[in-house]
Chain A
């Protein structure tokens, strides 16, 4: 890479390049955090010390795996990469509202990624999981400040992104695009950024108080001096449960874009999905955090109340899931790799959702809390569901980004290894979790009967590792040498496909679009009329080279 190219990318304010940089950063975090998962699974594959006899080392793997997967892969991947690259294209904008602030966000993100990676070489790395619970985090010899500073960088980056994208959607929509003509992905991303804007600052103040407690002698969370550890847990989950929806919502948005295009169908129950589903989740998301703390000594009125809200949130989620199934109904479905990932998500959300019901019920969760049942559940509903939606989205938009297909036998091989691998990994953990296998334990000598299950789970983890290696290598090769794709290869009606060329240049559109009230991003029923409802109706117009 020449210095000129490096400068062009480093100082870019183009939302697409920034999006690609988020993709590279978040996939780097995914790969390293995935390696930590393999170490964790290897350690658990046999009773007694397996690959380390130092439990603190195991704790550091857990810390990096959790923190990096959630905060550096899932959230930046969905609200950084996908939102940056595709949202402005979908709404017909030429860039985001504040391109320089967007560039500042990516610098902060990379600063955090570099800090996180350096935690492998500093002498006293953080060993406080991704949760940072006191009192351990304020007494450990590990570097809690490092954790706090990394979170601050990521949080500041996300809040700036939230401000930027909310203003972008309010102001930068192509003339004529009304609120009910937005892509579902745009709606879900807006909702995710509203959650980021409101809830991230709460986490930021919680971890700052943690910092003060450890290094400046305050006692917010120190029970010996009248502080309350539960205050931290409440504040942490007051952000971190909505963070699940920051991940879940854009992932669902990606699925809708794939389903509608591959089914050539409208969104079933668009308004119920948006106003009931998306905004229903936003509305309830701030009232469900206590289900993470059922066994932490919460008063009954709070536990029972939030059990109801936790069960209630399945209603908006259900509305969205029904809309997805309704979109598939009676459609002539094109099965490509993106669609395979998207359909698998329907089953992952089912498994993850149904196993969430016993965890939502206070009477049952007493038995399941802190077991591997919980971590199998959230890996299904949050981690795998969202990661698979992301991978599907990458295959779906690959021709847009690189002008080439990434589909093919290697893509399918990767998908099969991934989908089989995640089930082989986590179904055994559901089973032994229900029987009492504690989560996060370095060793489990008191439960020798669980060893075979752990071995199967470890085998599954290596299947996923093989699947992801194939998948990522396939992307890298196809980005340079894949089969060349035509403009709009999936025949979508959405603006990023109909009006922007593949590999769009700065400014995005040769002819910035304007639409009428009759246009819809899902206007497959009468495609010709839908294209005529834009100022540049003939698609070949979109194939003109960018100016």
Chain B
């Protein structure tokens, strides 16, 4: 089990992975609008 420096929460994924997950959520929202308009029209 990997030690975490600040918060002592060893089971959490790394900061970078969580940040990338959050970026993916934002990108999904961004692309989702185009997908919605492309497939279902205005």
Cα A199 to Cα B22 in complex, Å, equals 13
Using CB atoms, name the residue of chain B closest to A221: B42
Q: Which of B1-28 contact A (CB under 8 A)?
A: 4, 6-9, 12, 15, 18-19, 22-23, 25-27
Given contacts A173-B7, A175-B8, contact A98 B30 (CB under 8 A): no
A104 at the interface (CB under 8 A from B): no
A353 at the interface (CB under 8 A from B): no
Given contacts A162-B22, A175-B7, A201-B30, contact A167 B15 (CB under 8 A): yes
Determine how close the nearest CB of chain B comes to the CB of A511; give it in whole angstroms. 15
Judge whether A171 and B6 touch: CB under 8 Å: yes
Determine how close the nearest CB of chain B comes to the CB of A186; give it in whole angstroms. 14
Contacts of B30 in A (CB 8 A): 201-202, 204-205
A311 at the interface (CB under 8 A from B): no
Contacts of B33 in A (CB 8 A): 201-202, 205-206, 235
Contacts of A149 in B (CB 8 A): none
Given contacts A221-B42, A235-B33, contact A197 B25 (CB under 8 A): yes
Contacts of B6 in A (CB 8 A): 93, 171-175
Judge whether B37 and A209 touch: CB under 8 Å: yes
Contacts of A199 in B (CB 8 A): 29
Contacts of A93 in B (CB 8 A): 6
Name the prevailing secondary structure of the B interface residues: helix
Judge whether B29 and A231 touch: CB under 8 Å: no
Which of B4, B26, B42 is close to A159, meaning CB atoms less than 8 Å apart? B26
Judge whether A197 and B42 touch: CB under 8 Å: no
Judge whether A97 and B37 touch: CB under 8 Å: no
Using CB atoms, name the residue of chain A closest to B17: A167
A116 at the interface (CB under 8 A from B): no
Contacts of A97 in B (CB 8 A): 15, 19
Which of A198, A206, A227, A231 is close to B25, meaning CB atoms less than 8 Å apart? A198
Which of A164, A175, A226, A231 is close to B37, meaning CB atoms less than 8 Å apart? A231
Q: Which of A200-258 contact B (CB under 8 A)?
A: 200-202, 204-206, 209, 220-221, 226-228, 231, 235
Cα A202 to Cα B34 in complex, Å, equals 9
Which of B7, B25, B42 is close to A228, meaning CB atoms less than 8 Å apart? B42
Contacts of A220 in B (CB 8 A): 37, 42
Contacts of A206 in B (CB 8 A): 33
A166 at the interface (CB under 8 A from B): yes
Cα A206 to Cα B33 in complex, Å, equals 8
Determine how close the nearest CB of chain B comes to the CB of A156; give it in whole angstroms. 10
A163 at the interface (CB under 8 A from B): yes
Interface residues of A (CB under 8 A from B): 93, 97-98, 159, 162-164, 166-167, 170-175, 197-202, 204-206, 209, 220-221, 226-228, 231, 235
Apart from A171-B6, A172-B6, A206-B33, list 18 A-B contacts with CB within 8 A.
A93-B6, A162-B22, A162-B26, A163-B22, A166-B22, A170-B18, A171-B18, A173-B7, A174-B6, A175-B7, A197-B25, A197-B26, A198-B26, A200-B26, A201-B30, A201-B33, A205-B34, A231-B37
The 8 A-B residue pairs with the shortest CB-CB distance, nearest first, are A201-B30, A228-B42, A205-B33, A201-B29, A231-B42, A163-B22, A201-B26, A167-B19
27 pairs, A vs B, C-beta closer than 8 Å = A97-B15, A159-B23, A162-B22, A162-B26, A163-B23, A163-B26, A171-B7, A171-B15, A171-B18, A172-B6, A172-B7, A173-B6, A174-B6, A175-B8, A197-B22, A198-B26, A199-B29, A201-B29, A201-B30, A201-B33, A202-B29, A202-B32, A202-B33, A204-B30, A206-B33, A209-B34, A231-B42
